[in-house]
A and B are shown apart, each in its own frame.
Chain A
Amino acid sequence: MDHLDQLESQSVYILREAFNRIDKLAMLWSLGKDSNVMIWLARKAFLGHVPFPVMHIDTGKKFPEMYAFRDRYAVEWNLNLVLEDCPPVEEVDPTLPPNARSAARKTLGLRNAIAGHKLTGVIAGIRRDEESVRAKERVFSPRGDTGQWDFRDQPPEFWDHFNTDLPPGTHLRVHPLLHWTEIDIWRYIEREGIPVVDLYFAKNGKRYRSLGDSDITFPIDSDAATLEAIITELEVTRAPERAGRAMDRETEDAFERLRAAGYM
């Protein structure tokens, strides 16, 4: 087994545990490369099926290419697609810096969706290497009734025995991609032939490395117009992946505050 085989097998194991242990389960689909890989892994785990709803928490501010991608592959992949709106920015904690405040709409949208569908588990495509606050996550991560994350007192998790028994009113975040890195994702996309939004590929010297809301996400300088070129670029870059995500870096703890409040 090579490195990608090992990652794939581990993610499949996690997805199957989630499906077996969690009653009301949904997978989050941000339309980005990571969650496309996650849907692909679910089809591996469930032999071509995705046996739970796939949920897009829609800020209404994604790039048009992303909506087109969603509508095409929801049909092609035979997904049970559930769309959820986000509340207006006025309802978000005003003490957050402006870009983080914009991103936090998604947290509220997610919280409403979890309550509305009475979900007890949400599968999210976060990775440890994206951001060092995410590096501290568990694979099965319990959340309070408002979605908050108590990173100071996380339950132990070892030997692939995940905490799946929860007090009422709480839910689990399940992270099947936690051990993957950005370059793993791209290599797997290349190996499996997984479709992604065109915005990741360079046009006129610019490409998006990470996709979020169109007003707070910026492209990087790049000539990588193919999968191969992206992988080569990542092999040498020392710039962080989320450099184009304005919300992360407004203040030292902006992302940590977003996460503690229930951001993915």
Chain B
Amino acid sequence: MSSRAVSPATDLLREQLRIVIVGHVDHGKSTLVGRLFHDTGSLPDGKLDAIKAMCERRGMPFEWAFLMDAFQSERDQGITIDTAQIWFKTKKRDYVIIDAPGHREFIKNMITGAASAEAAVLLIDAGHGVQQQSRLHGFLLHLLGIRQLVVLVNKMDLVEYSGARFAAIRREFSDYLEGIGVTPSYFIPIAARGGDNIVERSALMPWYEGPTLIEALDNFQPAARLTDLPLRLPLQDIYKFDDRRILVGRVESGRLSVGDKLLFSPSNKTARIASIESWNSPAPVLEAHAGQSIGITLDDQLFLERGEIASLEQDPPVETNVFRGRLFWLGHEPLQVGNSYLLKLATREARVTVQAIERVFDADDLSAKPAVEVPRHGVADVILRSLPLLALDEGRHIARTGRFVLGDGTNIVAGGIIDMEGYPDQRELVTKRSSNIHKVEHGVLADARAERNGHRGGILWFTGLSGAGKSTLAMAVEQELFRKGYQVYVLDGDNVRYGLNANLGFSPDDRAENIRRVGEVAALFADAGMIVITAFISPYRADRQRAREAAKGGLHEIYIQADVETCEQRDPKGLYKKARSGEIAEFTGISAPYEPPESAELIVDTGAMSVEQSLATILHYIEENFSLLKVNHGNGA
């Protein structure tokens, strides 16, 4: 025979509630489940007899727990290994039980099970009282966001159904739960083995006047409706199976309608919903709400990627690259400051670094201590920082986009809830546009600046393949010019991406925006009278043309020329190797185009010239075109 889960004969209109049963190992979870099934008439035919027969065959006493413990190995070891799900029903509704094991090593399974529950049952052995696992499970349930809790004080038969014993445990555990902000809905004294106070009220505990377990469960509410919260639609994918470009995802909260203007974060782009796409639906879909997996088209062909969160404009998510997470740590190795993990938040993934561990909680007494690391199964507040901007919410505001997991290698090692206290929303920093811009004429004229500096301001826009020598030459030119008394500064790809453009990735749109910003900043530097050297591949003519226009005549395009073979041979950053192996997609010159300048002011062929020759060529060009001093190369006067 094999054990079998029981399927419910659900009426579609009947409610379903998912509950998780947790508690210290041996406090009677599996026995409770067996009893619940039997007492609610939810066991399939022959099941009870099959378990009885199996026990006889093995020469062991009958155990209700065998109903849940389906694996042979579990029966042999007498512990529940993993999360399982089974169903039972009461007159009011159907229940899905997620059985979570209590063995300390199996916390990850308990979390896997409990994370999807709407209510929880926590068992405490009346004889052994509150154990560390009881407290830890209570804490984790709270972290997982489960607010409906019934605490069962089990095995009352072993303490002679003592009301005093029950009251003592109730007091101790209530005090603990209060410390973490949890108020259990019910405390119930039961004896699972005999079925006392499960379905039938126990005649052995007349002092108890509260509900039975079934009455308590029936009083719980299904998960709160997320429809009334602000709209959050994390993009899961973008499909182009036919001529439609369809953005798909699940509405995590709120609602949307055709015609709504969506704001996508963190790219801060907006567009209106042109249609909600569906297949085999009886009528055109005009609106959608929390819980639905949908597809939409937009009135504007925005470049968007998986991970963006769509909202309405008036109530967008927070944008930040640093946040606090209260997390539970499941990794085998401790979490430490400086470690880097893969953050998964809704459909977004990004590398994050642990900037600080603020406090680690002791599950026993809830004291919070500063610590240098978080041990396995520890709970802690940590500060996480990412390079790109993230769109997220506070956990207490919108749970679905206010929680995250961390991945390390191929494993999920943590789950956490976001808390932004003390950290500002950075959205305005990247989007704020003054509504009251008037161009102000400077009182200081460009000529006056040039007079003082001894040279005109302007931009030397270096363009060319990776490895052509742009950065090397830019830095050498900067050093030489500085030595000669020039006001000079280099804008380089890496330093700009750490700050000004930290919210940009490497998609075509983001690359274009990267260059646009560099062009604008370079134009300001030039206007301030400086010589600014930009060292960017900037492969597209259109992008360079835009920079040229921003500079209003001050831009000099310098083509640092070398063929792909030469650059690949140099490969100073090892990028060509990665591009060839496919590790880097869309690499200029290998798998993405480079459009050489059509009319560069200067061409520097680094394939044919040495670094010194190239440097001299550029310096000569600068002196010819920017210097106000009469230069005589012969004597340096």
Contacts and interface: CB of A to CB of B under 8 A. Distances in A.
A212 to B, nearest CB: 15
B239 interface: yes
Given A9-B292, A158-B405, A238-B44, A135 B70 contact: yes
Contacts of B54: 252
Interface string B3-47: 111111110110010000000000000000000000000011100
B280 interface: yes
A16 interface: yes
Contacts of B1: 249, 252
Interface stretch (A83-91, A126-134, A197-205): A126-134
A47 B278 contact: yes
Given A13-B293, A152-B81, A158-B112, A132 B2 contact: yes
A161 B10 contact: no
A99 interface: no
B246 A47 contact: yes
A9 B280 contact: no
Given A159-B415, A252-B2, A20 B306 contact: yes
Contacts of A16: 236-237, 248, 293
Contact of B87 (A6, A129, A138): A129
B449 interface: no
Given A135-B70, A249-B1, A249-B2, A154 B82 contact: yes
Interface string A135-179: 110100010000000011011111101010111000000000001
Contact of B2 (A2, A12, A133, A136): A133
Nearest to A142: B410
B295 interface: yes
Contacts of B111: 156, 158
Interface string A5-17: 1101110110011
A100 to B, nearest CB: 11
A161 B410 contact: no
Interface stretch (A26-34, A38-46, A61-69, A214-222): A38-46
A121 B279 CA distance: 25
A253 to B, nearest CB: 4
Given A9-B250, A12-B293, A161-B344, A183 B8 contact: yes
A255 interface: yes
B84 interface: yes
Contact of A1 (B8, B82, B291): B291
B411 interface: yes
- Size bracket of the A interface: 35 or more
Given A43-B280, A44-B280, A135 B239 contact: no
B330 interface: yes
A127 B2 CA distance: 16
Nearest to A241: B7
A227 interface: no
Contact of A133 (B70, B115, B236, B279): B70
A250 to B, nearest CB: 10
Contacts of B12: 2-4, 187
Contacts of B144: 158
A13 B248 CA distance: 9
B410 A131 contact: no
B431 to A, nearest CB: 28
Interface residue tally on B, bucketed by range? 35 or more
Contacts of B109: 154, 156
B232 interface: no
A134 to B, nearest CB: 8
B293 A45 contact: yes
B111 to A, nearest CB: 6
A159 B115 contact: yes
Given A156-B330, A165-B409, A129 B239 contact: no
B83 interface: yes
B85 interface: yes
A161 B405 contact: yes
Contacts of B81: 136, 151-152
B77 to A, nearest CB: 10
B108 interface: yes
A51 B109 CA distance: 33
A181 B10 contact: yes
B236 A13 contact: yes
Nearest to B71: A256
Contacts of A142: 410
B9 A183 contact: yes
B293 A128 contact: no
A256 B54 CA distance: 16
A3 B4 CA distance: 23
A156 B410 CA distance: 11
A100 B554 CA distance: 80
B411 A155 contact: yes
B10 A131 contact: no
A239 B9 CA distance: 12
B250 A13 contact: yes
B377 to A, nearest CB: 12
B480 interface: no
B410 A183 contact: no
A252 B116 contact: no
Nearest to A12: B293
Contacts of B455: none
User: In this complex, which of A1, A17, A130, A187 has the most chain B Cβ atoms within 10 angstroms of its Cβ?
Assistant: A1
Interface in B70-114: 70-73, 81-87, 108-109, 111-112
B425 interface: no
Contacts of B5: 128-132, 135
Nearest to B80: A136
- Residue of A16, A130, A248 most packed against chain B (CB within 10 A): A16
A253 B280 CA distance: 42
A158 B116 contact: yes
A255 B5 CA distance: 14
A207 B293 CA distance: 35
B410 A165 contact: yes
B407 interface: yes
A142 to B, nearest CB: 8
A75 interface: no
Interface centre among A13, A47, A163 (most CB of B within 10 A): A47
A157 B415 CA distance: 10
Interface of B: 1-10, 12-13, 16, 43-45, 54, 70-73, 81-87, 108-109, 111-112, 115-116, 144, 236-237, 239, 241, 244, 246, 248, 250, 277-280, 289, 291-293, 295, 306, 330, 344, 403, 405, 407, 409-412, 415
Interface of A: 1-6, 8-10, 12-13, 16-17, 19-20, 40, 43-49, 51, 128-133, 135-136, 138, 142, 151-152, 154-159, 161, 163, 165-167, 179, 181-184, 187, 192, 234-241, 248-249, 252-256
